[in-house]
Structures are given as C-alpha cells and as structure tokens.
Amino acid sequence: MSKEKSTIGKNIKKYRQKLGISQDKLSKHAGMTFHTIAKIESGATPDPRIETVKKIANALGVSIDDLMK
C-alpha cells in the first residue's frame, strides 16, 4: 500500500513538471495550500484524501488513475 501512496506524489510532480508549473501555481489551480501540494509530492502526506487527489488531477488535466498508477 505505501508504494502506491508514494506513487501519487511522484506522479503529481511528473505531470506538474510536464506542464511546467510550480507547486505554488498548482496549489492555486487546485484550490489548496502550497504546503498541501509540497507535502504530498515529498511523501510527507503519503495518503492524501480522494477529494484532494481529485482536485489535483483536475488542475493537472489528468485522471485520478493517472496519478495512482
């Protein structure tokens, strides 16, 4: 399970960098704090709530599945 959790953070970072946006810009697009994004990407929040993942996926223009696999 923890492998999957750290995957979310890695994938968020991958898609964010692909778009060329900062964590700060992503946090504004997703309607959450910069700290939330930073913690998820770093793995400090290894199990973000599904609502959070949904907002980030929407902000990145990807599906929740894209972030979880």
Tally of domains within the chain: 1
Residue 43, C-beta contacts closer than 8 angstroms, at least 6 positions apart:
5, 6, 9
Which tokens belong to 57? 């996926």
Confidence (pLDDT) at 6: 74
| CA–CA distance, 43 with 13 (Å, rounded to integer) | 11
33, pLDDT greater than 60: yes
What's the number of CA atoms in the CB half-sphere (13 Å) around residue 57?
Answer: 16
The CATH number covering residue 16 comes to 1.10.260.40
| CA–CA distance, 4 with 26 (Å, rounded to integer) | 21
15, pLDDT greater than 50: yes
Average pLDDT, the chain: 92
- pTM across the whole model: 0.89
**48 is in which domain, residue-wise?**
2-68
Question: Between residues 30 and 1, which one has the greater pLDDT?
Answer: 30
